[in-house]
């Protein structure tokens, strides 16, 4: 399944409710599963982003739906990147090389 890396920042609401962050993470994982995606990892970070989520989803539409639901709760804003694993990158390089 395609992998997506989401860089998350807390909103004002999210930082006010920081004590619930691990429970919110569990709810996010459950919501992702209901939509057919899988939260592989979630990291709380220091620096320009407050959290980093690694999500597998069968397609871009599912990944977008998962992250729209997450953002719609109002605790975070996301920037999402499509990530490629080693095997995927080998296929891309082979295609580019002709």
pLDDT of residue 36: 98
Q: How many structural domains comprise the chain?
A: 1
| pTM higher than the cut 0.85 | yes
Give the CATH number for residue 56: 3.30.70.920
- Residues of the domain holding 49: 3-97
| DSSP characters over 43-98 | EE-SSS-SEEEEEE-SSHHHHHHHHHHHHHTTSEEEEEEEE--HHHHHHHHHHHH-
10-27 pLDDT, tens digit each: 999 999 999 999 999 999
Spatial distance between the Cα atoms of 28 and 43, rounded to a whole number of angstroms:
13
So what's the pLDDT on residue 15? 97
- For residue range 24-64, what is the model confidence (pLDDT) as tens digits? 999 999 999 999 999 999 999 999 999 999 999 999 999 99
């Amino acid at each position: 399944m395609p992998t997506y890396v989401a860089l998350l920042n807390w909103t004002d609401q999210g930082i006010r409710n920081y004590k619930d962050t691990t429970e919110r993470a569990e709810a996010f994982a459950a919501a992702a599963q209901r939509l057919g995606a899988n939260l592989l990892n979630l990291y709380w970070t220091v620096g320009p982003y407050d959290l980093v989520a690694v999500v597998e989803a069968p397609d871009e539409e599912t990944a977008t739906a998962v992250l729209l639901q997450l953002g719609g709760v109002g605790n975070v804003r996301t920037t999402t990147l499509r990530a490629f694993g080693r095997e995927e990158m080998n296929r891309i390089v082979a295609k580019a090389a002709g």
